[in-house]
Amino acid sequence: MNMPDYTIPLVVAIPLLGAFLTPLVSRINDKLRNVFVIIVLALNALLVFLLASDILTTGIKTYVFGAKDLTYPIVRILFEVDAMSIFMAIISSILVLAAVTYSWAFMKENTGLDKYYTLILLLTAGMLGMVFTGDMFNFFVFLEITSIASCALIAFWTDVGESVEAGFKYIVISATGALFVLFAVALLYGQYNALNIAQLSSVIQYTFLDKIALVLLIVALAMKAGIVPMHMWLPDSYGSAPSTISIVLVSATLASLYGVLRVVFTLYGNALSTIANFDISVNVFIGWFIVALAVISIIVGVTMALIQSDFKRLIAYGAVAEIGYMFLGIGAGLTALGTAYGRTALNGGIFHIMNDALDVGLLFLVAGAIYYATRERSLDRLGGLARNMKYTTAFFIIGLLAVAGMPPLNGFASKILIYESTFQLNPILAIVAILCSILLLAVFVKVFHSAFMGPQLPKYKDVKEVPRSMLFVMGVIACIIVFIGLFPEFVINNVVEPAANALVGYSEYVSQVVAGGI
């Protein structure tokens, strides 16, 4: 289907306008507001899907804000959407829609929900802007919008000390990270007099200052993506936020991961060698650095998850390990860029972004369901819930198996790509990855045992299954997980492969703007 160009800014503008309308709608009726927010986000998701089908068939789309006929494109902002951007946008819109639908029952007893929904919509606009923008400074602006909205949402339960603490930690970390991103943008701007990613990419020389800018960008965005040892804010904020916010935060974190990908593969695409070259070159330096951090992330994430007793903190450490897997695939793909297995690794890493978002999202929703039913977060005090909450248990099992990479669910499909390709890069990487995957299974079996199995505890005798709307959301996500697990090739060919192509073939992204005369 052929979508007009203005669909691209519309995707960001609809949640933004919706955000400012929400307080007004909220004045009328609470139920109307919930319906309004769900409709806005569903409409947005629909637009994203239509846009995706268009971009995957016809190629990159751009939209220019402001003057169209300038010969020297410096002073305007443009959105440039390729297969990678739309891949991230699909993930974000699914997760946000799930979170908002789930919130209806989950957040019912809270006050201040008009602000809550406003912030969620703002966060959505920020995330979609981050993945759609073709401008470095604009990327920074959307990054800050995302951080401010997520910080306020993490600290939403201000009556709990831990939430406020987590919010403060998050905002300190993300403000610092974002300012270093801005610093790097300024370094690039000072040298090349351009802010546009495509234009910068076409002129970048890889000078000393460019190297510094690259380091600042990668480290700051990797911190926002939650890689060890800069991950400590992540369990704090995921663990203390409401469950619905944790799942939105997952996609906000992945948007930062997208930033890393865009910077390395597109902005510095010129400096990367696309021929397999294992002498000391940019690929190998950055690639091995990312791989090293990724392996540490996997190990630390899994081992720390093993000793957690708070349900959501445990999942958050699991998420750290999962982010490690993504970075492992991407780093291996970068190191061996140009070889066949490097390509497989990149595919695996990108595929894992989608799978991790769904798996970890489902687990957070289950944690939310248990909190809703029992008002208890500590695993030490839970037990025997499978007797009362049959459906939630089933969804938890699906999430558990998927996140631990058990066949035939989706986590396995992407992890096997990562295992087999990293084995060719260095066998130790694959061995660590497989062992930690087994440990991850052990971690979630522990959760399964302590929360769902065991004798029925007297205090949970009257626990009821969660409302249908929450079950519905969990069910839909579980269905998507099973679907991707059963049809991995379908998803890889249609969504993942074009995204990886878009990353590797950066020249197409560049020529759209620079040579295309836009």
The yes or no reply on residue 431 touching other proteins (CB under 8 A) is: no
> Is 353 an interacting residue with respect to other proteins (CB under 8 A)?
no
DSSP-assigned letters across all residues of 6-31: THHHHHHHHHHHHHHHHHHHHHH-HH
Rounded distance between C-alpha atoms, residue 229 and residue 213, angstroms: 21
The rounded radius of gyration (Å) of the Cα atoms in the chain is 22
Judged by beta carbon, residue 306 or residue 394, the one nearer other proteins is: 306
Binding-site member from 435, 438, 486, 515 for other proteins (CB under 8 A): 486
Residue 335 Cα to chain centre, angstroms: 23
Q: Which of residues 453-472 bind other proteins (CB under 8 A)?
A: 454-458
Q: What count of other Cβ atoms lies within 10 Å of the Cβ of residue 507?
A: 17
Omega before 408 cis (within 30°)?
yes
Scan residues 244-263 and list those touching other proteins (CB under 8 A): none
**Restricting to residues 188-247, which ones interact with other proteins according to CB under 8 A?**
189-190, 195, 208, 211-212, 214-216, 218-220, 223, 229-230, 232-233, 235-236, 239-240
For position 447 contacting other proteins by CB under 8 A, the verdict is: yes
Q: Torsions phi, psi of 63, nearest 5?
A: -140, 130
User: Using CA atoms, how far apart are residues 304 and 31, in angstroms rounded to an integer?
Assistant: 41
What the block records as the tokens of 513 is 């703007």
- In the complex with other proteins, the residue whose CB is nearer, 51 or 181, is 181
Instruction: Quote the tokens at residue 229.
Output: 């040892």
Residues 173-192 that bind other proteins (CB under 8 A): 173, 175-177, 179-180, 182-183, 186, 189-190
Q: Is the alpha carbon torsion for 203, 206, 207, 209 positive or negative?
A: positive
Q: What is the closest distance, in whole angstroms, from the C-beta atom of residue 517 to other proteins in the complex?
A: 22
Site for other proteins in 322-341 (CB under 8 A): 340-341
User: Binding of other proteins at residue 438 (CB under 8 A)?
Assistant: no
Rounded CA separation 415/412 (Å) = 5
| 412, 444, 506, 509: residue in contact with other proteins (rule CB under 8 A) | 412
Q: Specify the 3-state DSSP secondary structure of 455.
A: coil
Least distance CB 456 / other proteins (angstroms) = 7
Site for other proteins in 363-382 (CB under 8 A): 378-380, 382
Which stretch, 59-67, 471-479, 483-491, 500-508, contacts other proteins (CB under 8 A)? 483-491
Residue whose C-alpha is closest to residue 168's, from 237, 110, 256: 237
Which stretch, 28-36, 59-67, 387-395, 418-426, contacts other proteins (CB under 8 A)? Answer: 418-426
